[in-house]
Structure 1
Amino acid sequence: MWVLLANLGLSEFTETVYRAMLVDHTWSVQQLAERLGATEKQIRQALDQLADLALLIEDNTGGGVQLVRPTIGLSALLARAETEMLERQRQLAATRDAIAAIALEQERQTQRENYLRLEGIDAVRARIEELTRSARTECLSLNPRSAQSPDAKAASTRLNEQMLSRGVRLRAIYQESYRNDPALVSYARWLTGIGGQLRTTSTVPMLAIVYDREVALLPLDPTNSRLGAVEVRSPGVVAAVLALFEQLWAAAVSFGESAPVDANGLDPQIKQLLELLATGQTDEMASRKLGVSLRTVRRMAADLMERLDARSRFQAGLEAGRRGWI
């Protein structure tokens, strides 16, 4: 069975000529042509290829050619092919590493473009000022009570005024408990007076700001916004924050309107407290989620226990559920 030597650089016809010459290297060009049914031109081309591959060399006398034995000539070609293959493999491995490096850099660049970590409140406020100045159409915000410090309101007053003066739509959701803070009530009245839209709901799960439905600022730690924030431009994440905002906005109460009271005499804040009690939340956790003081939560819980004739907060939550209050 013939072994194809194309990988060593021999064409199929040149290999045929080489094998024929191994049988009798004394054959002339004419004899090889007759033997193989080829033209003399084809034979000379094959001999030239054999010479190029060092399988046919001049003999020592200089008067003719000598065929190199396979164990020498072909083994040398095989060794060269193996060396070339190893070098090709090395080049492919280097190319693979280069592709991986390019892909990693692209991933890192995408992450840099989609996520920017802002350490500390000063960095966050500086970035908020930049984003506010560049906002074109809309600014949405979720504002839990814990994030509404006097210095935060002071920092946002001028920026919000500038946005509204440029025609940027501003919508904000605050916790219902803001009504217990005269400073926040005054700020909300001022904001709506210059064109901002403000609604309230019993709980706001986290602080968030979304600019032009393209970039969102989210706290690194939802329980402590002073630690910093992450700026997100990933469309999927921004869409999720927008969905949360719109869901809360649809159920929230416009500023200036009283919170609706249902047939059982419960406003949204009381109902939210009942739901928290029914799931076994502590007074401290309910205080944080509702944005009211621990003392207020305990007073509200005591009133509910009395109305529901319950001996514990958890029982009050279960009884409210049984009566269809929540």
Structure 2
Amino acid sequence: MLEALGLSKTSELVYLALLDYAGSDCHHLADHLDLTEREVCEALDELTRMALLQTGDNSRCRPPRLVDPEVGMAALIARQQADIARRQQEIEESKLALTRLLSQHSDSRPSSGDPGIEHLRGVTAIRRRLREVAASSEWETCSLTPGGAELAESLPASRFLDSDAVDRGVRLRTIYLDSIRNQPAAIEYAQWLSGAGGEVRTAPSLPQRMVIVDRRIAMVPVNVDDDDESAVVISIGGVVNALYTLFSSVWRSSAPLGLPRSRDSDGLTDQGREALKLLGKGSTDEVIARRLGVSVRTARRVASELLTRLGARSRFQAGARAVARGWVAVDDLD
């Protein structure tokens, strides 16, 4: 229960025991929990570092004194929120670094200028190179796979590539948009991939499409939000590592396939909160649809419902009211 807040399993057991049996010393806690005294003492040290126990008395002979649980839990949650904000900043910095890289190696520059960057033009060339890159995987392939209805078009070819990779013992980690849960062909494929041995998660939005193979080579589109049919294959170690860091950040915050969509204390799903951020930025229905992988009609309905719920007359007003209510942070609307 408390592991999500950074506590180890043993420390959680000790903390819950202290809540029930205040005044217990290290020896009594060890007997009650069937742990060694050393394990209990290490757990007490961790609880002290996490500011859940009062400091100033390190004697093993005296019972540990709890910090007010409400205060201690609030501090733990605040630290987790700060960690989430830090990871989000990592994502944004990685996106910025990638944008700069692609700008430096745009089509106006010679494609042979850097051996670590390979330019591809056209759907046929991109798909052929993707098959080659996927076939070269030895132990891991990581994918961010946004897309709405058009996602179904690429599934037959993907099934062959993914099946081959699983047979070769390659670890497949794939993140789709939450919206695939409403697309029969896409969700059927994701369930097949999960059942075949792949690891599948979903997120309300994805920064862009990418494939990373063995953390040594990556494929990304040249233009994130455009339909320009061009991509680059990157084999520059530092850049691939930055892209992998971006993937890892999204992976940690995404939900395993099969978990039901949950609503937070504000009554918003992750997808709804992402839509609210896009609304606050003044995004059009078309942009919201593309980012969430839904139809324009669905995006329009979601936008209308959020505006009504906030009592807002415009998208910018909706963003301001969402910030005022604490539904989104002001930095989310930059």
TM value normalised by structure 2: 0.62
Counterpart residue identity of residue 240, structure 1: A
| Distance in 1 separating the partners of 2:230 and 2:149 | 12
For 2:114, what is the secondary structure of its paired residue?
helix
Counterpart residue identity of residue 121, structure 1: V
| Distance in 2 separating the partners of 1:239 and 1:148 | 29
Counterpart residue identity of residue 204, structure 2: S
CA contact 2:279–2:318 (8 Å) conserved in 1: yes
For 2:266, what is the secondary structure of its paired residue?
coil
Deviations 1:116-153 (A, max 9, x none): 11221111222222222221110000111158533311
Match of 2:216 among 214, 217, 240: 214
Note the C-alpha offset of 1:110. Answer: 7.7
Match of 1:111 among 100, 108, 114: 114
Indicate how the Cα distance of structure 1 residues 248 and 323 shifts in structure 2: closer, same or farther if over 3 A, else same.
same
Is 1:284 equivalent to 2:298 in the alignment?
Answer: no
Match of 1:130 among 125, 129, 132: 132
Note the C-alpha offset of 1:181. Answer: 1.1
CA contact 2:201–2:257 (8 Å) conserved in 1: yes
**Alignment map for 1:89-238 (pairs within 5 Å):** 111-112=114-115, 114-146=116-148, 148-223=150-225, 227-238=229-240
| Distance in 2 separating the partners of 1:252 and 1:153 | 22
Indicate how the Cα distance of structure 1 residues 171 and 147 shifts in structure 2: closer, same or farther if over 3 A, else same.
farther
Indicate how the Cα distance of structure 1 residues 140 and 148 shifts in structure 2: closer, same or farther if over 3 A, else same.
farther
Deviations 1:185-223 (A, max 9, x none): 110010001011111111112110000000001113334
CA contact 1:217–1:231 (8 Å) conserved in 2: yes
| Distance in 2 separating the partners of 1:157 and 1:183 | 12
Note the C-alpha offset of 1:226. Answer: 6.8
For 2:165, what is the secondary structure of its paired residue?
helix
CA contact 1:147–1:225 (8 Å) conserved in 2: no
Indicate how the Cα distance of structure 1 residues 279 and 109 shifts in structure 2: closer, same or farther if over 3 A, else same.
closer
For 1:145, what is the secondary structure of its paired residue?
coil
For 2:220, what is the secondary structure of its paired residue?
strand
Indicate how the Cα distance of structure 1 residues 193 and 162 shifts in structure 2: closer, same or farther if over 3 A, else same.
same
CA contact 2:281–2:315 (8 Å) conserved in 1: no
| Distance in 1 separating the partners of 2:256 and 2:236 | 30
Identity of aligned pairs, percent?
40
Indicate how the Cα distance of structure 1 residues 122 and 147 shifts in structure 2: closer, same or farther if over 3 A, else same.
farther
| Distance in 2 separating the partners of 1:295 and 1:301 | 10
Point out the more displaced range, 141-150 or 194-203. 141-150
Partner of 2:60: none
Moved over 6 A (4+): 107-110
| Distance in 2 separating the partners of 1:207 and 1:108 | 21
- Equivalenced residue count is 219
CA contact 2:177–2:205 (8 Å) conserved in 1: yes
Deviations 1:209-259 (A, max 9, x none): 000000001113334567132110011211121111111111101100122
**Ranges in structure 2 where 5+ consecutive residues have no aligned partner:** 1-109, 329-334
Match of 1:318 among 317, 320, 330: 320
Counterpart residue identity of residue 156, structure 1: S
| Distance in 2 separating the partners of 1:300 and 1:108 | 42
Partner of 2:256: 254
| Distance in 1 separating the partners of 2:206 and 2:199 | 16
TM value normalised by structure 1: 0.63
CA contact 2:138–2:170 (8 Å) conserved in 1: yes
Partner of 2:299: 297
Deviations 1:295-316 (A, max 9, x none): 1122112212222222223222
Partner of 2:241: 239
